[in-house]
Amino acid sequence: MPEIKVMDHPLILHKIGIIRKKETGSKEFRELIGEIAMLMTFEATRKLELEDVEIETPITKTKVKQLKGKKVAIVPILRAGLGMVDGMLTMIPAAKIGHIGLYRDPKTLEPVEYYCKLPEDCANREIYVVDPMLATGGSSSAAISMLKNKGVKNIHFMCIIAAPEGLERLKKEHPDIDIYIGGLDEKLNENGYIVPGLGDAGDRIFGTL
Ligand SMILES: O=P(O)(O)OC[C@H]1O[C@H](OP(=O)(O)OP(=O)(O)O)[C@H](O)[C@@H]1O
Ligand SMILES: O=c1cc[nH]c(=O)[nH]1
Ligand SMILES: [Mg+2]
């Protein structure tokens, strides 16, 4: 069963409070996005399957748990999704990384694709699509459709802030994926920005405001 989970861990909520502040500068913003992504990875990977394997400690033989089956790939939606990758790699260092380049046309709010490079074996991996912001849902829905067109089945989506409108769209267009959200906000404004939100995540991460 697909899972939709809004984070409730105090460390995650505290850090989200800091990135919302308009006076938080790029350096701190970028560091916190990475830390939040790292902490959210704990929740988002809870369903990964384990198997028992026999090993030898320096003392004796014993059984330990190891991750079973599919390997992981992280797929950030450029640019802002890049800010989440290093934090996630701290938790899953062997993950492969795919990149999907999309920007949202400021007038139409429609996603415009400009890049796609995925691991060759992505159809056999557990895929984590990441983007700090889920606003109308256009970008994340398009990215997930691109992956499905390449035969990827096990898709999880992780974002730090979501608008209800984007969550509804994603649930409708991709009812089969897990969705992990740091904070679920009130609404979108007339320009398609999340309220209260945190502004433009990509610009704040890369200092291009
Ligand atoms: O849910 P949506 O309405 O599609 O909006 C969300 C998208 O908008 C932002 O990207 P942006 O277009 O600002 O590109 P950037 O990451 O290069 O800044 C954000 O990082 C998402 O990708
Ligand atoms: O509030 C928003 C909406 C889309 N993209 C952002 O970076 N922020
Ligand atoms: Mg942006």
Catalytic residue among 30, 104, 125, 204: 104
| Residue 158, pLDDT score | 98
d(CA 126, CA 45): 10
d(CA 111, CA 73): 22
Q: Which residues pair with 127 in a beta bridge?
A: 73, 155
Distance 4 CA to ligand 1 centre (A): 21
Binned at pLDDT 50, 70 and 90, residue 162 comes out as very high
CA distances from residue 73 to 1, 23, 115 in whole angstroms, order as listed: 21, 34, 17
CATH number of the domain residue 201 falls in: 3.40.50.2020
Q: ipTM value, please give it.
A: 0.98
Please state the rounded mean pLDDT for residues 66-87.
94
CB atoms within 10 A of CB 41: 24
Closest CA to 90 of 160, 29, 177, 31: 31
Domain of residue 43 covers 4-206
Strands 99-104 and 194-195, sheet pairing = unpaired
pLDDT of 69 > 80? The answer is no
Share of the chain above pLDDT 90, in %: 97
Which SS3 state, helix, strand or coil, does residue 128 take? strand
Please state the rounded mean pLDDT for residues 164-191.
98
Q: H helices within the chain, ranges in order?
A: 10-20, 26-44, 85-91, 138-149, 164-173, 201-206
Does the annotation count 104 as an active-site position? yes
Q: Which residues pair with 4 in a beta bridge?
A: 179
| Residue 163, pLDDT score | 98
- Average pLDDT of the chain, as a whole number: 96
Please state the rounded mean pLDDT for residues 143-172.
97
Binned at pLDDT 50, 70 and 90, residue 209 comes out as confident
Enter the tokens of residue 181. Answer: 């959200």
Does the annotation count 57 as an active-site position? no
- Cα torsion 115, 127, 175, 39 to 10°: value is -110
Share of the chain above pLDDT 70, in %: 100
Binned at pLDDT 50, 70 and 90, residue 63 comes out as very high
Binned at pLDDT 50, 70 and 90, residue 1 comes out as confident
pLDDT tens for each residue of 122-138: 999 999 999 999 999 99
Q: Is 162 a pocket residue for ligand 2 (Cβ < 6 Å)?
A: no
Q: What total of structural domains would you count in the chain?
A: 1
CB of 143 within 8 A of CB of 75? Answer: yes
